[in-house]
């Protein structure tokens, strides 16, 4: 069989995305063929397209979708044809109607979670889980800064952090985005220019325990300056560009700070991590109020990328086959 797909043959702006037809191989051992019902859009898709992260060319972007299993290969027992599933995976290829992929990424969806809801929140909720609970190990009462707080990741971070009893300080580029972060549980709202002074003020001069920052280059210095002595910067993305070469001594100079640059795939690397993380995400799901923001037909993937990269979106965007 074949599928419609969105592909890029060279890296560049959204204009390099083009619609093509590609063969879908039957699932081999350990693989499954999934027909997509909703495709989750993530900032990483733009990194693959622009070349910020390497991808083998030609490349079909996309690392997350929800759909129905059509066929499974030898040795696959945890999902079967007809099952509704969601997945994130380390190899791009989700911007299409149907694909074959390693079945180990597939997780069966309960009836209570719809396809669009699943595709809008799965990768980002799993990321939020590991960032909050296993990477930063946030404690009740911690003062935590979240930048890009009305984005796909940002809203989930606000909800999860509020749920575990942290004081959430949300940073956004507009009051409208701030209002969305507040509705997601943020206690204090700031613009980027207010960092670090307002964070210090809100924490009685001490500074935040943790900063979660997916903006990267543009906020790195302000994020470090917002921390308390021995505080932790979790730099988990590069929406404004990669953080450049860093003088290690800066961490000493600014108060014996800690920093880490974690990725989802290192925290969901073993079957044990995967089972633990996904179970925790399902337990928290009812509290996360996951909902799709903008929906685009699959054919309009380029417009979706333009909107995401120009900060025009809030929450999670979807491509619909
Ligand atoms: P978002 O929906 O958060 O969109 C990006 C947001 O970043 C924008 O809405 C904007 O919010 C903010 N931003 C600040 N500066 C810029 C800029 N120069 N260009 C574009 N946006 C900018 O995207 P996602 O939720 O998909 O991803 C958020 C971050 O999380 C990304 O950096 C992504 O790479 C990272 N991520 C990391 C993972 C990991 O494993 N490490 C896994 C998943 C996501 P505002 O206007 O309020 O500033």
Please report where in the chains the tokens 């799901």 appear, as a residue. Answer: 285
Domains along the chain?
2-109+291-320 (3.90.180.10), 124-265 (3.40.50.720)
Residue 96 DSSP symbol: B
pTM recorded for the entire structure:
0.98
Q: How many CA atoms lie within 13 A of 235 on its CB side?
A: 24
CA of 224 to the centre of ligand 1 (A): 18
Question: pLDDT tens digits for the chain (321 residues)?
Answer: 999 999 999 999 999 999 999 999 999 999 999 999 999 999 999 999 999 999 999 999 999 999 999 999 999 999 999 999 999 999 999 999 999 999 999 999 999 999 999 999 999 999 999 999 999 999 999 999 999 999 999 999 999 999 999 999 999 999 999 999 999 999 999 999 999 999 999 999 999 999 999 999 999 999 999 999 999 999 999 999 999 999 999 999 999 999 999 999 999 999 999 999 999 999 999 999 999 999 999 999 999 999 999 999 999 999 999
Task: Write out the two tokens for 231.
Answer: 């505080």
Q: How far is CA 67 from CA 15, 41, 81, 109, in A?
A: 27, 15, 11, 9
Mutate to test the pocket of ligand 1, among 48, 61, 151, 174 (most ligand atoms within 8 A of CB): 151
Whether ligand 1 lies within 6 angstroms of the CB of 242 is answered as: no
Give 26: exposed, middle or buried? Use CB within 10 Å, 0-12, 13-18, 19+. exposed
Nearest residue (CA) to ligand 1, atom 32? 237
Length of the chain: 321
Q: Do 213 and 147 meet the contact criterion of CB atoms below 8 Å apart?
A: yes
């Amino acid at each position: 069989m074949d599928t419609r797909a969105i592909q890029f043959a060279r890296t560049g702006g959204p204009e390099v995305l083009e619609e093509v037809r590609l063969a879908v191989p039957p699932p081999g051992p350990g693989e499954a063929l999934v027909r997509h019902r909703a495709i989750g859009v993530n900032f990483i898709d733009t990194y693959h397209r622009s070349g910020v992260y390497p991808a083998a060319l030609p490349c079909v972007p996309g690392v997350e979708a929800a759909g129905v299993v059509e066929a499974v290969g030898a040795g696959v027992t945890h999902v079967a044809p007809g099952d509704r599933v969601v997945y994130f995976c380390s190899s791009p290829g989700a911007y299409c109607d149907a694909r074959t992929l390693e079945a180990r990424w597939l997780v069966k969806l309960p009836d209570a979670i719809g396809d669009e809801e699943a595709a809008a929140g799965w990768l980002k909720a799993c990321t939020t889980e590991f960032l909050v609970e296993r990477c930063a190990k946030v404690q009740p009462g911690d003062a935590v800064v979240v930048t890009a707080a009305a984005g796909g990741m940002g809203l989930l971070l606000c909800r999860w952090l509020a749920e575990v009893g942290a004081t959430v300080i949300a940073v956004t580029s507009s009051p409208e985005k701030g209002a969305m972060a507040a509705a997601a549980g943020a206690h204090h709202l700031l613009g980027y220019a207010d960092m670090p002074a307002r964070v210090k003020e809100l924490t009685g001069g001490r500074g935040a325990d943790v900063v979660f920052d997916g903006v990267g280059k543009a906020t790195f210095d302000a994020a470090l300056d917002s921390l308390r002595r021995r505080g932790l910067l979790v730099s988990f993305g590069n929406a404004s560009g990669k953080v450049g070469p860093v003088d290690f001594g800066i961490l000493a100079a600014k108060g014996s700070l800690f920093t880490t640059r974690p990725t989802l795939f290192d925290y969901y690397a073993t079957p044990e991590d995967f089972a633990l993380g996904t179970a925790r995400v399902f337990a928290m799901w009812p509290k996360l109020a996951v909902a799709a923001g903008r929906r685009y037909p699959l054919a309009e993937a380029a417009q979706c990328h333009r909107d995401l990269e120009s900060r025009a979106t809030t929450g999670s965007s979807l491509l619909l086959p």
